[in-house]
Amino acid sequence: MVLNLITFSSSLLATETEAPESSLVVAGVLLSLVIVYFASKIGGELSNRAGLPAVLGELVGGVVVGISVLHLLVFPESGADSSSSLIISFLETTTKLTPETAENLFQAQSEVISVLSELGVIILLFEIGLESNLKELLAVGMQASVVAVIGVTVPFAAGTAGLMMLFGISAVPAIFAGAALTATSIGITSKVLSEIGQLNTKEGQIILGAAVIDDVLGIIVLAVVASLAKTGEVDVANVVFLIISASTFLLGAIALGNVFNNSFVAVVERLKTRGELVIPAFIFAFVMAYLAAAVQLEAILGAFAAGLVLEETDKRKELQKQIIPIADILVPIFFVTVGAQTDLRVLNPAIPSNREGFIMAVFLIVVAILGKVITGFSVFGEAKVNRLAIGVGMIPRGEVGLVFLGIGSATGVLSEPLEAAIILMVILTTFLAPPLLRFVFPQEEKLATSTPGGLGESMVMEASNSMVPASSDTVISDSSSSSGNG
């Protein structure tokens, strides 16, 4: 399948020049994966030894091997070409590649790694859905909805108004930059919460539910501002369609869980060959991801919903264990790729062209952090809840911010300084959130690490009064410790 994808990608990307041989594309992809796994493992191990989440090390490892430092893993989206990639340069010196063929090889190799990265984040959200509890998410649904709505409106309004009044940015680019402040990276936040054993606490469930709603609202906002950027007017019909499709999809996924569980188990128990559980589970997850993408939502929301549905089945524990090694292979590609695509050269204010963007970036970072932190204090009806932790958990933009940036850049609505400011905001909110999350959970995390299971099941239950039963915590502990190393 991967070979067919590689061959198909290279044939599509070839223009008038001869397409690179599929064996060379395979070689480029394999070298890229070697770089990805080295970066994720070394970064994750160093981060773990420093007392930080492994995912932060994977992101930093991606930055080191990416466009910012070593140029081992670069992508066309960052403005690079084949001459910027050391992998392509190595293949040019060891094979007879013309410059045109090398460029086609670079495009095909990058496309394959990007597809694997997207597959990685889909697997990650499916795994997170399996670790979550649908009943607990519904129990915090109202609080999560309030947190999500405030977390979207406050940064959007403050960012847009501030750019227009303080920096004289025109309305459309200011609205686009404000929109980039709205959505939360559910992939990064949920991975960190899982690593530190807080995924199934009351705070973790509110964060997770709010992040899901955030993504839906963010997608709607993105559709609106993208339409505004392209045509100068908002397509009201498309906005209404997105709202209806998002609501229908999420409610339908929840309803599906009540009728699908027994059927899934019955089918699985009739299968006798290898993969009798994990293959049907992936079929269901990919169908749900496709349906989400088909109605113009994010595929990761469909995968997350699939995990929530299968979490209700009797096969949950066994499925969680079987997902772990697959996630260990694919998920690091996503985090390293996100890091590799960020260009830290925009941090250098000594370059005159970067100064305006740097100042705007400081403003956007302040709005991005404060606009999310205050959301935690909007939680109501909960006497004993860590509101600061909820706000901090909503900070990272990660891949979501990069999606906004990519579309804004493609439409040509963003100036170079404003693009640089958004990049810097995405980088810092992504990197600051993991250590901040560990800092705002000091007592619970200390208790968690004091027991052999790694999560301190019974003690954390007493501290939070909202954990799932100890038997499922044991599975989550196994999943977290395995996925924590990438």
Secondary structure class of 20 (helix, strand, coil): coil
> Distance from first CA to last CA of the chain, Å, rounded?
24
Q: How many CB atoms lie within 10 A of CB 35?
A: 22
Residue with tokens 């905001």: 425
Q: How far is CA 466 from the centre of its chain?
A: 26
Q: At what angle do helices 316-341 and 186-195 cross, to 10 degrees?
A: 120
Q: At what angle do helices 2-13 and 99-131 cross, to 10 degrees?
A: 140
Q: What span, in angstroms and rounded, lies between the C-alpha atoms of 486 and 483?
A: 5
Q: How many CB atoms lie within 10 A of CB 171?
A: 11
Q: How many CB atoms lie within 10 A of CB 135?
A: 13
Secondary structure class of 211 (helix, strand, coil): helix
Residue 224: closest CA among 404, 420, 418: 404
Residue 10: closest CA among 23, 25, 30: 25
The angle subtended at Cα 329 by Cα 190 and Cα 44, nearest 5°, is 60
Contact of 206 with 141, CB cutoff 8 Å: no
Contact of 220 with 153, CB cutoff 8 Å: no
Per-residue pLDDT of the chain (486 residues; tens, 9 = 90+): 444 444 444 444 444 445 667 888 899 999 999 999 999 999 989 988 876 668 778 888 998 999 888 999 998 877 778 888 899 888 888 887 788 888 888 999 999 999 999 899 899 889 888 877 767 667 767 888 888 889 889 999 999 999 999 988 888 888 888 888 887 877 778 778 887 788 878 888 888 888 877 777 776 777 677 666 666 666 677 777 777 777 777 778 777 776 777 788 888 889 989 999 999 999 999 999 998 888 777 788 788 888 888 888 888 889 999 999 999 999 999 889 888 887 777 667 777 777 777 888 899 999 999 999 998 888 776 667 888 888 888 888 766 676 677 667 667 777 777 877 887 888 788 778 878 888 887 654 444 444 344 333 333 333 334 434 443 343 333 433 334 433
The angle subtended at Cα 104 by Cα 101 and Cα 107, nearest 5°, is 150
Q: What span, in angstroms and rounded, lies between the C-alpha atoms of 149 and 221?
A: 12
Tokens of 294: 């088909």
